Amino acid sequence: MNEATKIKAVHTSAEWVKLDDESVLRVVKKDKLMEFDENTYVKLVDLSFQNGVIEVKMLSRLLPDAPDFARGFIGIAFRINEEDTAFESFYVRPTNGRIADPVRKNRGVQYFSYPTYTFDYFRNLGITEFEGPADIGLDEWISLKAVVDGPRGEFYLNGEKEPVLVVENMKHGGGAKGAIGLFVDIGTEAFFKDLTVTKIN
């Protein structure tokens, strides 16, 4: 991914900026500001993905006007349909990574499936299998690797051999396919670089 990559900003603003003398993509949520787990991402145009590996480096900061519940939400969306009304997503909450509070610490990473299966849906039903802890923080580059195969998703951070989260049955099933997006949520200034996609089919 570079400045020549065709992208579409969906409920976000996006621009290429210099960060530590590197060209990176800056993404900020701009619409539906008080709703979580929405279709807020920058989508790669002309790339259809079903199974394979998605890798990206990402860094998040809190915006000056971020609400108290902002966590530096940053991640990926994938298998996005053409209408931007259905997709799978994995993101991290860097402010939860090293906090003493054990409840928040266990919410460092999150899988959700748009439109129905948001983190709020899981949490209201007491379902905890789609989130977990991670040793991450704000204002540091986090390497994400997603291995997607049918209904199964494995998510790795910072080159670790063991995944931080495994989802055995993603909610849209194994046959879904679509675009890839760089996801951002409330109160976050997100930066992305070094995106690579290896498709299996």
Position of tokens 């070094």?
194
pLDDT tens readout for residues 165-190: 999 999 999 999 999 999 999 999 99
| pLDDT attached to residue 189 | 97
How many domains does the chain contain in total?
1
Average pLDDT over residues 8-21: 96
Stronger pLDDT, 22 or 34, i.e. the higher one: 22
Determine how β-strand 12-19 pairs with β-strand 179-184.
unpaired
pLDDT tens readout for residues 105-145: 999 999 999 999 999 999 999 999 999 999 999 999 999 99
Residue 89 lies in a domain: yes
| pLDDT attached to residue 33 | 60
> Which structural domain range is residue 77 located in?
7-199
Is 12 a residue whose pLDDT tops 90?
Answer: yes
Residue 62 lies in a domain: yes
Q: What is the CATH number of the domain that holds 38?
A: 2.60.120.560
Is 201 a residue whose pLDDT tops 80?
Answer: no
Residue 41 lies in a domain: yes
pLDDT tens readout for residues 24-70: 999 999 876 667 899 999 999 989 999 999 999 999 999 999 888 88
Residue 106 lies in a domain: yes
CB 155 within 8 A of CB 111: yes
What stretches of 11-141 adopt beta strand conformation (E)? 12-19, 22-29, 41-44, 52-62, 74-80, 87-92, 109-114, 131-132
| pLDDT attached to residue 1 | 86
CB 191 within 8 A of CB 60: yes
SS3 134: coil
Residue 1 lies in a domain: no
Residue 2 lies in a domain: no
| pLDDT attached to residue 35 | 77
**Bridge partners, 16 (sequence order):** 25
The span from the CA of 163 to the CA of 101, in Å, is: 22
